[in-house]
Amino acid sequence: MLGPMRASRLVTLLLLLQIRGRMTAGELARELEVSERTVHRDVDALSEAGVPIYAERGPLGGVQLVEGYRTRLTGMTAEEAEAVFLSGLPGPAAELGLGTVVTAARLKVLAALPAELRSRASRLVERFHLDATGWFQTGESVPHLATLAASVWEGRLVDITYERANQRVLRRLEPLGLVLKSGIWYVVARHEGQIRTYRVSRVVEATPTDERFTRPDGFDLPTYWAESIAAYEQEAPRVEVVVRVHPEHVDELVDFVGRPAMIDAERLGEHDADGWVRLRLRLDWPEEAPGRLLGLGGHLEVIDPPEIRERVEAMARGALERYVRAATP
């Protein structure tokens, strides 16, 4: 009986030949990370199993399958084939500990595709790349993500130590799913009968247990996440701010207040006497609003409400005083 590692290697060898045609024993050895002698043994094993494979010796020789031997995926359209390859996120897959699994899966799909679809899928991989992380983000450290993913998949309880509000708490979770949003991983889990969301980067310890749990009837992860996000956005504190912005810098404001706020922005009348634009903005998290608005410097003035204007003034004055002190000998 073949061991699981050798069986997997034989399948990979077969798929490589289906995709690339003739390959030398040296090329196969490098791809499979084995010796050429092992490659020849694997070829013999496939031949004995009835696979129409043969090897030719000599400098121009190689290993190949009989022409026309191929397993095809029936009914797959070009769009479906492209979607399979466009959906692969190598970074997140690697974080989950599934990097080699994704690579192997894509290889199997590629090998099974008819030639015309295989070329289109290959071109897609060459010309499109998905990066789930935002700009200027190096990604959060998530050392326990693979452990949580295994618990989700196997339906096992997991004990975690979770950091929140400068304190660490212990939780025994029933992990129901993982979500990647804007480069940040979240685990959705049930704790003491309540389904909650936990940020994976704040999990400082994770220990899987042997105890299994039963998933809630009818639980749907995409639906839960959509409803959770909608509730979060609806309940998030907001403040309404009226500002004057230099017309040449209106587009830059999106970098400081976010695209949703700019889409929702209300323009108040035409340009004022100085040619500046007046906008009414609805910003999340009032405590952060003054610092974000100050980011545009002298190209923006807060008009209302007075408390936001006063805080922006105080922050600007404090920064100016700091620079003046630094410049004074």
pLDDT at position 110 is 63
User: Which of 85-94, 115-124, 182-191, 209-218 is least confident?
Assistant: 85-94
pLDDT beyond 50 at 92: yes
pLDDT at position 270 is 82
List of residues 6+ apart from 85 with CB closer than 8 A: 106, 109, 110, 121, 124, 125
- The per-residue pLDDT for range 160-184, each reduced to its tens digit, is 999 987 899 999 999 999 988 877 8
Print the SS3 string covering the chain: CCCHHHHHHHHHHHHHHHHHCCECHHHHHHHHCCCHHHHHHHHHHHHHCCCCEEEECCCCCEEEECCCCCCCCCCCCHHHHHHHHHCCCHHHHHHCCCHHHHHHHHHHHHHHCCHHHHHHHHHHHHHCCCCCCCCCCCCCCCCCHHHHHHHHHHCEEEEEEEEECCEEEEEEEEEEEEEEECCEEEEEEEECCEEEEEEHHHEEEEEEEEEECCCCCCCCHHHHHHHHHHHHHHHCCEEEEEEEECHHHCHHHHHHHCHHHHHCCEECCCCCCCCCEEEEEEEECHHHHHHHHHCCHHHEEEEECHHHHHHHHHHHHHHHHHHHHHHCC
pLDDT beyond 70 at 190: yes
Q: Give me the mean pLDDT over the 264-273 stretch.
A: 88
Residue 130 — very low, low, confident or very high, per pLDDT cuts 50/70/90? Answer: low
pLDDT at position 98 is 53
Pairwise CA distance, residues 96 & 43, whole Å: 33
C-alpha distances in Å from residue 136, one per residue of 82, 133, 140, 183, 322: 29, 9, 12, 11, 27
pLDDT beyond 50 at 74: no
Nearest residue to 89 via CA among 143, 132, 150: 132
Number of neighbouring beta carbons within 10 Å of residue 153: 11
84 versus 40: which is more confidently predicted? Answer: 40
103 versus 230: which is more confidently predicted? Answer: 230
Nearest residue to 32 via CA among 48, 51, 11: 11
pLDDT at position 176 is 95
pLDDT at position 189 is 96
pLDDT beyond 80 at 117: no
Pairwise CA distance, residues 274 & 5, whole Å: 73
Nearest residue to 162 via CA among 192, 207, 206, 196: 206
pLDDT at position 139 is 63
What mean pLDDT, rounded, does the chain reach? 82
pLDDT beyond 80 at 124: no
Decide: 63 and 22 in contact? Cβ < 8 Å: yes
Inter-axis angle of helices 78-86 and 99-112, to 10 degrees? Answer: 160
pLDDT beyond 70 at 41: yes
* pTM attached to this predicted model: 0.54
Most confident of 96-100, 105-109, 218-222: 218-222
All domains of the chain in start order, with CATH: 4-65 (1.10.10.10), 78-127 (no CATH), 145-233 (2.30.30.520), 238-327 (3.30.70)
pLDDT at position 88 is 53
Cis previous bond, 305, omega within 30: yes
Q: Give me the mean pLDDT over the 39-49 stretch.
A: 85
